[in-house]
Amino acid sequence: MTTLHEPTVTTTPDELSVWPASTTELRPGDLAVGGVPLAEVAERFGTPVYVLDEAEVRERCRTYRHVFPDAEVLYAAKAFLCRAMVHWVEEEGLGLDVCSAGELELAVTTGFPPEKIVLHGNAKSPRDLETALRLGVGRIVIDSPSEIARLAAAVGPDGHQKVMVRVVPGISAGGHDKIRTGTEDQKFGLSIRDGYAQHAIARILDQPQLELTGLHCHLGSQITSVKPYLAAVRRVVGLMARLHEQHGLVLPELDLGGGHGIAYRPGEEALDLTALARKVRTELTEACGAAGIPVPRLVVEPGRAIAGPAGIALYHVLAVKRTGDHIFVAVDGGMSDNPRPALYGVRYAPRLIGRASAEPMAPVTVVGRHCEAGDVLAADVELPADVRPGDLLAVPVAGAYHLSMASGYNLVGRPPVAAVRAGHARLLVRRESLDDIRSRDVGL
């Protein structure tokens, strides 16, 4: 437990622009988030540790409700999920988007209303579908033709399930090739261009126990421009108009997915949500008007933009090594708790915290402790030249796709998550211990 400290030093807002709004500098070099000094969080829970600013998560949920007042906002659970997160999202009035029986079961057993959950997945396992039907999930997004018969059979002739169809609008958008999902040549969705989407829709309409509520598309992730979303609206509404003509079908929902880009480093661009909401609304109204179909209810599915900027990763420096051209600063975490730099070359802006340094900044590469040369957390960043073992480093914008993608590599155990709010820190997820790892290892 900590008391709320008054900030005594003001930093230039630019430097902290990617940090949670609650961030203050108590003394030079000593940052607090949610009223709790980060050095204190590291001391209490050990490192590496993930810190989540509850107020920042809630505020981001509220922003979505505010800028998309008529839309359904679903938080994409894969960005980061734990039981507290489930509560916050529910209390703020959002629905949930899940991709597995695991995410779904965690949410529902925490009290999340199943009818406000949408299940995705390009390859849903029998267990995913069984769990979805057993728990009464709101909608299931069909992503392949073979799923239709499987789902219809599982629902049974007397059952009823709402479904959407994920279509491929044929639009390239997103921060990296590996996170572009709106183009033709990738594994998600059914192509409009090749007619697979239309074919699947006709088959769904033949299944009386499946109720098609709308079309879904997700263009990719870390998109910072509104334009691809407007193009997607035109494509999908074009398909809705043809379905209306051919089948007299009126679909009440259009799900535009997520992918809203955020700034990872000061000066980077984020997607302007107000502009997105306004322009999508206009485009949707105009396109539907021109096609002579009713305007469907919009659904959006932000993940990263809700959780990402609310999280901070804290590490201790274990070693500093000077080689030919580089200074390597090695920390006590790495690619097992944040695989993103290795996967997509993402750049971060780590900061020395807990002490002030009078030294000038020097270019360094922050690396992890894992047995791979590619285990780099932040290449070519600036840290004080006297950075040394025992120092604390904080990596902002660490709330999304870090812990949810964490691995068991080198058996170091996944870090804990602590929430901070109004001067108090509390543990949400404990550190994975050697006992946890040993208890799964049941053979000899």
Under the rule (CB under 6 A), what is the footprint of ligand PLP? 76, 78-79, 97, 120, 218, 221, 257-260, 301-305
Which one-letter amino acid corresponds to residue 371? C
Q: Which residues pair with 297 in a beta bridge?
A: 253
Smallest distance from ligand PLP to CB 106, Å? 17
Smallest distance from ligand PLP to CB 87, Å? 20
Structure-block tokens of residue 197: 């989407």
C-alpha–C-alpha distance, residues 124 and 391, integer Å? 45
Helix (H) or strand (E) holding 213: strand 210-216
C-alpha–C-alpha distance, residues 380 and 354, integer Å? 22
Nearer to ligand PLP, 207 or 221 (CB): 221
- How are beta strands 327-331 and 311-322 bridged, if at all? antiparallel
Nearer to ligand PLP, 81 or 393 (CB): 81
Smallest distance from ligand PLP to CB 214, Å? 14
The single residue of 61, 99, 288, 371 carrying the catalytic annotation is: 371
C-alpha–C-alpha distance, residues 56 and 173, integer Å? 27
Smallest distance from ligand PLP to CB 317, Å? 30
Tokens 């109204």: give the residue: 285
C-alpha–C-alpha distance, residues 314 and 50, integer Å? 6
C-alpha–C-alpha distance, residues 390 and 14, integer Å? 27
Smallest distance from ligand PLP to CB 301, Å? 4
Is 371 labeled as catalytic in the residue annotation?
A: yes
Q: Which residues pair with 396 in a beta bridge?
A: 312
Sheet with 30-33, edge to edge strand ranges: 24-27, 30-33, 36-37
Nearer to ligand PLP, 239 or 305 (CB): 305
Smallest distance from ligand PLP to CB 117, Å? 13
Nearer to ligand PLP, 60 or 304 (CB): 304
Smallest distance from ligand PLP to CB 45, Å? 26
Candidates 141, 139, 143, 177; CA nearest to 161 is: 139
Nearer to ligand PLP, 22 or 100 (CB): 100
Nearer to ligand PLP, 73 or 201 (CB): 73
Q: Which residues of 397-425 are buried (b: 16+ CB within 10 A; e: fewer)?
A: bbbbbbbbbbeebeebbbbbbbbbbeeeb
Beta carbons within 10 angstroms of residue 72's beta carbon: 18
Provide the sign of the torsion angle of the four alpha carbons 249, 199, 223, 376, taken in this order: positive
Cis check: omega of the bond before 48, within 30 degrees of 0: yes
Question: CB within 8 A of 38, min separation 6: which ones?
Answer: 30, 31, 32, 51, 312, 314, 353, 354, 392, 394
Smallest distance from ligand PLP to CB 91, Å? 20
Question: CB within 8 A of 26, min separation 6: which ones?
Answer: 5, 7, 8, 9, 32, 37
Nearer to ligand PLP, 45 or 401 (CB): 401
Residue 258 and residue 300 in contact, taking contact as beta carbons nearer than 8 Å: yes
Nearer to ligand PLP, 347 or 438 (CB): 347
Catalytic machinery residues: 371
